[in-house]
Amino acid sequence: MVERRSIGWMPGAVDTRPPAGRAELDAAVAALSGLRLAVLTGAGLSTDSGLPDYRGPAAAPRNPMTYEQFTSSARHRQHYWARNHLGWHSMYRTEPNPGHLALAAMERAGTVLGVITQNVDRLHERAGSGRVVDLHGNYNRIRCLSCGWECTRAELDDKLLALNPGFLERVKELGDVEIAPDADAVLESTTGFVVASCPVCGGVLKPDIVFFGESVPQSRVREAFGIVDDADALLVAGTSLAVMSGLRFVRHAARGRKPIVIINRGLTRGDELASVRLNTGTSEALSMLAERLSP
């Protein structure tokens, strides 16, 4: 398969092609039938669980915090943790949707070898998937950047609630607050929010999430490439492949001449490498594939 650049792609691009019909679904089944699959997922998979995506046609513009901002500015950390404190209280109650459950079922059946996810919401694990590479980390672990002390996000929440009594109630009185896919929240005023420091050394606490401008740990990248190498085909669901972090696995599979099926609402940066492209929702398509690809 020759790699070609997707000239017409741009962030949030609308797919003007008709929604996938029976012919496209049959083609996806034919392309993947009898093969062991590596799966790459993005924020679009979790929209049916109530979480927004990043770059879909309906996604709101976002300006996420960078690693440099977080590590160099106490004011930026205050802003981040105030928003995260609110966002986490919404995210941890989110439940897996039929798409997550379908992938877990396909893994149990031996069809899916593993999932590489760009999401930090842990919904794959909660759905029952066993082999998951959280490429960008997940919101559940907190680490001190100085001494390496760790705790869970729930443990940190106890500290933040004690340091900021009444904060959540005051914010909720302001009305609806938009929650982002990385447990961030759109919140204008964070004045007065008290940030928790490391109880061991007083250092900066950071969630185990790869911020913009921060590199994905090489151990995770190697593990993810290993899943693609072990598989016979690659199934991509719910990502526009806008950043190289995910696109590199599609390009790697294409160089290995492996079938690639992409499921996404909206165009993706990897469309021209796909054997089959489904312009449809992930829950519907993955549920169908789980049923029809079952041994």
Select which of 79, 85, 100, 136 is catalytic: 136
Residues 6+ apart with CB under 8 A from 161: 168
Element (H, E) at 233: strand 233-237
Whether the Cβ atoms of residue 291 and residue 105 lie closer than 8 Å to each other: no
* Tally of CB atoms within 10 A around 76: 15
**Strands 112-117 and 132-134, sheet pairing:** parallel
- DSSP conformational letter for 95: -
- Residue holding tokens 């929010």? 193
- Residue 111 DSSP code: S
The yes-or-no answer on residue 89 being catalytic is no
Size (the chain), residues: 295
**Element containing residue 144 per DSSP (H, E):** strand 137-144
Asked whether 11 and 243 are in contact (CB, 8 A), the reply is no
Helix %, strand %, coil % for the chain, to 5? 40, 15, 45
Structural contact between residues 238 and 212, judged by C-beta atoms closer than 8 angstroms: no
- Residues annotated catalytic, as ranges: 136
